[in-house]
Homo-oligomer: A and B are copies of this chain.
Amino acid sequence: MNILYDERVDGALPAVDKSALLAELHAALPDLELLHTAEDLKPYECDGLSAYRSVPMLVALPERIEQVQALLRLCHVRKVPVVARGAGTGLSGGALPLEKGILLVMARFNRILEVNPQGRFARVQPGVRNLAISQAAAPHGLYYAPDPSSQIACSIGGNVAENAGGVHCLKYGLTVHNLLKVDILTVEGEHLTLGSDALDSPGFDLLALFTGSEGMLGIVTEVTVKLLPRPQVARVLLASFDSVEKAGRAVADIIAAGIIPGGLEMMDNLSIRAAEDFIHAGYPVDAAAILLCELDGVEADVQDDCERVDGVLRAAGATDVRLACDEAERVRFWAGRKNAFPAVGRISPDYYCMDGTIPRRELPRVLHGIAELSEEFGLRVANVFHAGDGNMHPLILFDANVPGELERAEAIGGRILELCVAVGGSITGEHGVGREKINQMCAQFNSDELTLFHAVKAAFDPDRLLNPGKNIPTLHRCAEFGAMHVHHGQLPFPDLERF
């Protein structure tokens, strides 16, 4: 499947003499492992979003920062584009290679340099896996909070590049909220430190600017993350509803009651049944929607919150509320949610996972809108998502072998993202823009805003050598796409009043 790959970026790049470049790299960096045969390059043709594929010209597998630095300097002189990649688990094609560029794989930088329990931080190399940080911190009762579903495999450098989230980011924040400091190499190979060990850093907040910049501003060489004490207890409530809109309203009610759950997830009937068939989590298969609400903290506090949330859920129309009676049931409740994507994969030949964020208060309207769009396009949509954040993950079910379904899947996906923008939301929550959503950026931002993004990019990388064609569309591209050039939340989404 290669439904969405856009070759225009590669097409616009100048031709590179691969053999000459390879020879020059070998001469300058004899120790650097370089892959260059078709066979060796093939495994790197995509990241976690397999719909986009593109074989890189060369793959570099450095082991020392000095090699990265020398490689960047050489590419800068020769004007060769560089795409950085960590574990390659990204879901928006942010690490998609370029046929005329070098793929810089940072996976071998996998050492944990320091775990400091008193300062509550860990200093790690970019290729360290997300979960490995928490494992290293565990003996001190600490952990690293952001927990994307891919946390067993994804690396912290990629988390920084995409500003990764997870089930617990409602309470504990995205990657950007859990960083102290990032060391980077600029496109010219200069070493810079963004942020500091202290609370605040003077000058412009380049650490926040860099986080989520999808490899366009520099290459991460070291990350200092904050560590948090592990909550004493965690409990999960499972609430059933006879409509998705009621479940959506209950989410807003919980937050309005002054409770911040550790996680607050929603699944609709299609996802519930798929997950239950697969995992046997004990979900109510007749419910139109369920909410999973995790409360964590100290015992007395959690107890108190459980009672309050139970009351709020029932007042919001829950037909049933169950508290996981022990740790085994809690883990089972979560297992259903965490395996919902593969579970949906079992009931449909193909699916396309969207990632949009909306203000929580708009959940009922947007869920209703998605249901109507689903009917209109004749494709099933399963909803399973971080409801507390308003971070939606509609899964569009289709069969690429049925003529026209693939195009309809793309079309409804775009419409759903535009609906998110129309209610004041955004086209990404935690997966990033990458290559996948670059057209929707034209709906999200107007030309002044995009121009400013390009000016910021130019401040770091005037020749646009770092990950070109991702994240920020050119104005030319937006014009081709028929961009609306309107402001946040003012997009004239014609159906909005229907929902």
Binding site for B on A (CB under 8 A): 116-120, 141, 163, 165, 169, 174, 176-177, 181, 186, 190, 192-193, 196-206, 208-209, 211-213, 217, 229, 252, 255-256, 258, 297-298, 300-301, 303-305, 357-361, 389-391, 420, 424-430, 432-433, 437, 441, 444-445, 448-449, 452-453, 455-460, 471-472, 487-489
Q: In the complex, are the beta carbons of B426 and A201 less than 8 A apart?
A: yes
Whether the Cβ atoms of B200 and A445 lie closer than 8 Å is no
Can you report 15 residue pairs joining A to B where beta carbons are below 8 Å apart?
A: A119-B359, A176-B208, A197-B489, A198-B390, A199-B426, A202-B441, A202-B471, A203-B433, A203-B471, A204-B212, A206-B456, A208-B208, A209-B456, A300-B300, A459-B459
Pairwise interchain contact B391-A200, C-beta atoms closer than 8 A = yes
The answer for the CA separation of A428 and B489 in the assembled complex, in Å, is: 36
Contacts of A360 in B (CB 8 A): 118-119
CB contacts (< 8 Å) of A211 on chain B: these are 205
Task: State whether A204 touches B209 (Cβ < 8 A).
Answer: yes
B298 touches A198 (CB 8 A): no
Max chain B Cβ within 10 angstroms of own Cβ: one of A204, A358, A457:
A204
Please give, as numbers and ranges, the residues of chain B lying within 8 Å of A209 by CB-CB distance: 204-206, 208-209, 456
Are the CB atoms of A425 and B197 closer together than 8 Å? yes
A424 to chain B, nearest CB (A): 4
CB distance from A302 to the nearest CB of B (A): 9
What's the Cα separation between A106 and B485 when bound, in Å?
29
**Complex interface: chain B residues within 8 A of A190 (CB):** 448
Give Cα A91–Cα B209 distance, bound, in whole angstroms. Answer: 26
Asked whether A229 lies within 8 Å of B205 as measured between CB atoms, the reply is no
List B contacts of A453 (CB < 8 A).
203-204, 206
- Distance (Å) between the CB of A261 and the closest chain B CB? 13
New contact pairs (17) apart from A203-B441, A204-B456, A208-B209, CB-CB < 8 Å? A118-B256, A119-B360, A119-B361, A120-B255, A120-B256, A176-B205, A186-B448, A196-B425, A196-B488, A199-B390, A200-B429, A204-B453, A205-B209, A205-B213, A208-B208, A300-B303, A300-B304
